[in-house]
Structures are given as C-alpha cells and as structure tokens.
Amino acid sequence: MILPSKLVIASRESALAMWQAQHIQQKLLSLYPHMQVEILGMTTTGDQILDSPLATIGGKGLFVKELEQALADGRADLAVHSMKDVPMHLPDGFSLAAIGEREDPRDAFVSNLYKNLEDLPAGSIVGTSSLRRQSQLKARFPNIEVASLRGNVHTRLRKLDEGQYSAIILAAAGLIRLGLESRIASMISTSHSIPAVGQGALGIEVSAAREDLPAVLAPLNHAPTAACVIAERALSRALAGSCQVPIGAFAEIEADEIRMTGFVASIDGTQMARDEIRGPVSEPESLGLALADRLIARGAQPILAALPHD
C-alpha cells in the first residue's frame, strides 16, 4: 500500500461536524504518524437555510453536496459525514470507504422543566427537525405540539433555554460527542423512538476515482456498525426513504445475528407500519430488503403514497 503524504478532510463547520472531522483526523494520525492530515471547513446549503424545515428545502443531502464538490475537484480527499445525513443513493462517482463505530444511537429528551416525555403536560411544545421523531411523538402523545427546530446543536439548546420549547429531541450521539451529556434529561428507548437510518455512525466518503484510498481508510471501518448501517440503508432505499418521509430503522447485533426494527408512518402518527426481523450478519442488504417487504405487507405503501411529494 502506497500512502499519500497528505490527506485533506472536507467537513461542515458546525461544532459537531468539526468534532467528527477531528476525530477521524486523530485516528488517521495514529495510524499513519508521518502523514499530514488537514481539515477543510465548509458551509453547506443546509447550514445556510435555517428558516425552513429540511423536508421542504431538499432534505439532508443539502449537508453533503458542497463536500462532494470539494472531493470531485480535488480540494479534499475524503469527507466525513453523520451517516444519518448521507442520502440513500450516493451520486455517481462517489463511494463510502468506511463506516466508523457507532456512538449511542438513541434520541435524547432535553428539557429544563421535565424529566421525560411522559411528564409533559398536554399542549407542551416539543422541538424537532425530524418528521421521523414527529410521527413517533404524535403517535404516543397526541396532545403535545411539535414545532420545527433547525440549527446546530448549540443553537437548538439556546432556543430551548430561551423558553421557545418545553423540550427538544436531539440525537444523543451529538450531545455526547460535544461533551453536553449533562443536558440530557433522559434517553428515549429505541423501542419508543426508532432512530434515523445510520444515527450515531460516521461515514467517510471518497471519490470513486481515488482507488488508493479504500485501503488507507479500511482500518477505520467498524464491521459490526457497517453491517447494521448497510441493513438500515437497504430498507430505506427500498421504501424511498428521505427527509420527506417519516421512516426509521435500527439494527443491532445480538448473538451473531442482526436484529432490526423499522417503521413508516404518516406525519401525524395516526398511521404506522412497523415490524422486526432477524438474520445473519453476513447478509445485511438482504435483511434490510426483507424488512422493507414486511413493512409493505403491513400497509407501508398507502402511507407513503399519501405523503406530500416534491
């Protein structure tokens, strides 16, 4: 293996994205001490448009397009993403070289007034940017109000502290990585809030033309996490999952098998198809597709057809 003398990591400039890029930077430096590893911070369209829900402005792909352009034109060698932000279909010419070990995949309940969702009085305003969270919240607690919440982690916490919301729901992984665990009032179990596809895992994207990079980045791939995320993404692709669709999938390895739960719901949570499957770790893609078929059998297609489309 011929090592490049220098690697440039493309990253969004939010505090969490930079933490993630620096995390990969340190791992690369520990593997290859003589390599120069730099970070190219960038502002994406998704970071710039903060006054509209993601579902109405093009989805989470808005967080990766500029980074992919930097890979395409040679300004960067790799891009680090939260896997939950990576579109289910990568553009031609790009590939995922590695998926890192998953942090806590759960959603976190954050509030200065209440300890958990069950404590919220009727009419409480809960902030989230996610249709997935919104549908599951409304299914369990139809008397609460769900309001859109955009911005980076610190911005969302500030809006909570200003009293705009009774509580907000965030990915636990981001709070943990930023050292903000103390803000978590309680964790929401994956059975009550099925996570986003890939939640808690980091992905490393490269240009497919860079045939030298997969071997260099291979040590950063965490095989158990990768298998779970591949299964989740297969389900989402099969059901046309995007920011505009309330969909979740969570796979974990138990006793040499993958156990995976998935759901599709209407935005208001009144309709939901949900199921679970187990299968071999060696066939994650097939497992995800099989669970998608089960959800279709449970009525996912009419729910999907009724959702707004661009």
**Residues taking part in catalysis:** 85
Class of domain 6-103+197-221 as given by CATH: alpha beta
Sheet holding 202-207, edge to edge: 36-42, 6-12, 78-82, 202-207, 94-99
- Cα separation, 152 vs 46, in Å, equals 11
Report the run of H or E that residue 303 belongs to, with start and end. helix 300-306
**For residue 48, what pLDDT is reported?**
53
CB 68 within 8 A of CB 152: no
**For residue 105, what pLDDT is reported?**
97
E-assigned strand segments in 103-201: 107-110, 125-128, 145-148, 167-171, 186-188
233-305 has which fold? Double Stranded RNA Binding Domain (3.30.160)
* Cβ neighbour number for residue 56 with a 10 Å cutoff: 13
- Cα separation, 205 vs 93, in Å, equals 11
**For residue 45, what pLDDT is reported?**
59
Which parts of the chain sit beneath pLDDT 70?
44-63, 241-243, 309-310
107-188 has which fold? D-Maltodextrin-Binding Protein; domain 2 (3.40.190)
Beta bridge partners of residue 204, listed in sequence order? 80, 98
pTM to 2 decimal places: 0.91
What tokens were used for 251? Answer: 């796979």
7-35 burial, b at 16+ Cβ within 10 Å, e below that, comes to bbbbbbebbbbbbbbeebbebbeeebeee
**For residue 241, what pLDDT is reported?**
55
At 34-47, the pLDDT tens digits run: 999 999 999 765 55
Boundaries of every domain in the chain: 6-103+197-221, 107-188, 233-305
**For residue 307, what pLDDT is reported?**
80
Number of C-alpha atoms within 13 angstroms, CB side, residue 91?
14
Fold match, 6-103+197-221 / 233-305: no
**For residue 74, what pLDDT is reported?**
94
